Structure 1
Amino acid sequence: MIKVIRTTEMYQDYLAGIDEIFDAKKGTQEGDELELLVTLVRLYEQENFHLPFLDPIEAIKNRMEDLNLKNKDCWQYFKDFEG
């Protein structure tokens, strides 16, 4: 039975459950279960993990730095979006 997440163990279990049924189709029993699990996990994360807001550009720059990428390394991902 699915309940409100109250512990870290429940949170981990729900994440594992999401992984198991991630490709469930909307409108099916598994799809409804997936939607409920995702909603409960989001609520738990909002209440328990206070992450700072990152500007999207800064987030990209941080990830590039993590991966030791330069601007030229990312061109292939953005070339199709030229105006």
Structure 2
Amino acid sequence: MEDVRLIRSEKDYQAALKQIRALWDAEPGTPEEDQLEILSILVSKYEEEHFPIEEPDPIEYIKVRMEELGLRQEDLVPYMGNKGNVSKVLNRKRSLSLEMIRNLHRGLRFPLEVLIGESSLGLRSNH
């Protein structure tokens, strides 16, 4: 059983991944399984710090879900008010309103956390 060390560099990270692969089939209840679990925790911590996952853009999320669900822009009208609103939101010319967010969440089960996230609007402030 190799020593388990903190992961402080890319080299340490790659070495830990190699160890994990070697221990992948460790028998439950063995020291190897414990080592595998400890290494997994260390790798997870390193990845969170060095490869953070950004929240998805709400507009991109809506577009991806539309494709997955086979929805057209017209299908979003009941949730967003009218065709103009749908088009403006999907083209980043208008922000999602609170009512739209609620409707998309209730009607299509889109996660609130994603819908309220920052989107990269093409708008410029007039202030």
Give the match for residue 114 of structure 2.
none
Matching residue within 10, 18, 21 for 2:20: 18
Give the match for residue 45 of structure 1.
47
User: Counterparts in 2 of 1:1-83, with a 5 A limit?
Assistant: 1-54=3-56
Distance 1:47 1:26, change over 3 A: same
SS of residue in 2 equivalent to 1:14: helix
Larger radius of gyration, structure 1 or 2?
A: 2
Counterparts of 1:34 and 1:53, CA distance in 2: 29
User: For the aligned residues, what is the CA RMSD?
Assistant: 2.0
Counterparts of 1:21 and 1:53, CA distance in 2: 32
Where do 4+ consecutive residues of structure 1 move more than 4 Å? none
Q: How many residues align?
A: 58
Q: Which runs of 5+ in 1 are unaligned?
A: 62-70, 72-83
Counterparts of 2:10 and 2:39, CA distance in 1: 14
Counterparts of 2:6 and 2:52, CA distance in 1: 19
Q: Which runs of 5+ in 2 are unaligned?
A: 65-69, 71-127
- The offset of 1:25, in angstroms, is 2.1
Give the match for residue 75 of structure 1.
none
Identical columns (%): 37
> TM-score, structure 2 length as denominator?
0.41
